[in-house]
Amino acid sequence: MLLCLSLSFPSHHQTMAAAPSLNSLPYEVRQTIYSLVARQTNSNDWRKGPVSTIAHYATVSREWQEEFVEPITFKAIRVTPRRLKSFCQIVTSPRRRAIVQTICFHVSLDKYDSRLDGEPETPAERRRSTEILTMALGTFFRAMTQWQKSDTSPLGLDLHLRVDSPSDASSLASRNGGALVTGRALTSCLELDLDVVSLPHIDVFGGFRCTGRHLQPTSILFIVSRLQTLEYLDVELNHDSTRNRDVKQRNSFALGLQNSETIRVLCLRRPSPMLTPVYAPPKQPWSAFYDHMRTFSQQCESFEFDDCIDAVQFFTPFLLGSGIAEPPKGQEAPFFPRLKRLNVRNSYMMKSPYLRVTNRVEALASVRNLLAAIGRATRRMPALLFVRVCQYVLTDARLEWFVLIYEYHADKVVMRTKGFRPGKLIANAWRESAAEKGTKLIIHHEKDDLNTPEL
């Protein structure tokens, strides 16, 4: 695209005039030009490589570089261990550091032959992966000690840790066209060598997200313990498993979170789809894990989780009826004074590894009881503004999904449902919650399918 500013060039008989500068244009005109250029470059495609085509426009002028190019190219920076030194040299000035909002630290593990796509790592390969990650994080954290909290933008600084192998990308494609990952990538967990790693404390990161290979919860917890001003945490948590190692990891993670007093936004995701069947764990709503998670979530403003936490067990204190496990003596229903946003997603699949229920009737009963329990729980969430609960039931015949959305705005409480008709149990639970706020509940039910069940 050519940008035409309607500038005329003098002839030999005309007096040479000073070339107009970009700053001579009104601010609105400059922003329009920048917007047009940005839309026709890969300015937002920072994940695919260290340099986007928009960086070439920095040579137009110093004004273009400082006012247009750098605010885009430095907003989200991809760093690798090999490029760490150049990163430190490039982002030395306070002006550039104030632009940065996200640092994606990408650690590449060793390549492997395609014949090993479906094979987990050997013990020697696991040790090698641990060594690579431990050394890379140590180097990165030491480099980040050169940053001061005053260097960052008021929006804060987020750390996105991605760890994978160049060979993890499968030649197969998913239904939506995206690349799948290999079986080795799905089954090979990562961990830090906690006996060797030494990470300094850093106070410049307000958010931390981890993707790629699954990182063990205790390793995540160690990293979190070094981020002193962390407010947002988005990580994977081991899926339901009865293996002693997994139970210990989950309990340690949930207990350790309680030492992170600054975290206000927590998003927990299960690891990528598991390839080996896992039997459903026993119902333990009063176990150490659920006790610690309920305790920690009471300091959150936003809490989101999927199948890595069984929602029925988490909200057991608000379940009613016979057969409900009695709480320990002195155990009170949790109170969430800060919670503004809640997002819950669970699956009830009629096959491994989601065998929470044995049939569709049991699944629908669990969904109904959960939606009612969360409705009762919202009475203990005085600051709540938004809730989204999605429950999926997969049978041999089809996939059914049940969605409830709650919004409190302008002194109105609105509940929207899709995939089911709320029965008396659910409606009353949410109506009583709305009454706590001194307002009536407005229910909207999508009637796309006349055969939707009543729950």
Mean local confidence (pLDDT), 249-264:
91
Other residues' Cβ atoms within 10 Å of the Cβ of residue 191 = 19
**Looking at the predicted structure, is the pLDDT value of residue 328 above 80?**
no
pLDDT in the model for residue 281: 60
**Looking at the predicted structure, is the pLDDT value of residue 404 above 80?**
yes
pLDDT in the model for residue 68: 53
395 versus 290: the higher-pLDDT residue is 290
Tell me if 153 sits within 8 A of 217, measured CB to CB: no
43 versus 407: the higher-pLDDT residue is 407
In DSSP notation, 209-236 reads: EEEESPBPHHHHHHHHHHBTT--EEEEE
Tell me if 107 sits within 8 A of 162, measured CB to CB: yes
pLDDT in the model for residue 62: 57
pLDDT in the model for residue 47: 41
118 versus 277: the higher-pLDDT residue is 118
Distances (CA, A) of 60 to 17, 30, 65, 66: 20, 13, 8, 11
**Looking at the predicted structure, is the pLDDT value of residue 289 above 60?**
yes
15 versus 139: the higher-pLDDT residue is 139
pLDDT in the model for residue 37: 61
Answer whether 0.85 is exceeded by the pTM.
no
Return phi, psi of residue 181, to 5°.
Answer: -110, 165
Distances (CA, A) of 263 to 48, 205, 260: 30, 11, 6
**Looking at the predicted structure, is the pLDDT value of residue 451 above 80?**
no
pLDDT in the model for residue 208: 97
Averaged confidence pLDDT in the chain:
82
Q: How confident is the model at residue 48 (pLDDT cuts 50, 70, 90)?
A: very low
Mean local confidence (pLDDT), 127-134:
96
Mean local confidence (pLDDT), 369-387:
96
Mean pLDDT lowest among 48-62, 189-203, 310-324, 411-425: 48-62
DSSP 438: T
**Looking at the predicted structure, is the pLDDT value of residue 277 above 50?**
no
Mean local confidence (pLDDT), 295-317:
94
Q: How confident is the model at residue 22 (pLDDT cuts 50, 70, 90)?
A: low
Q: In terms of Cα–Cα distance, which of 324, 343, 387, 395 is closest to 364? A: 395
Residues whose CB is less than 8 angstroms from the CB of residue 295 and which lie 6 or more positions away in sequence, other chains included = 258, 334
pLDDT in the model for residue 19: 59
Return phi, psi of residue 91, to 5°.
Answer: -105, 65
pLDDT digits (tens, 9 = 90+) for 140-156: 999 999 998 888 877 77
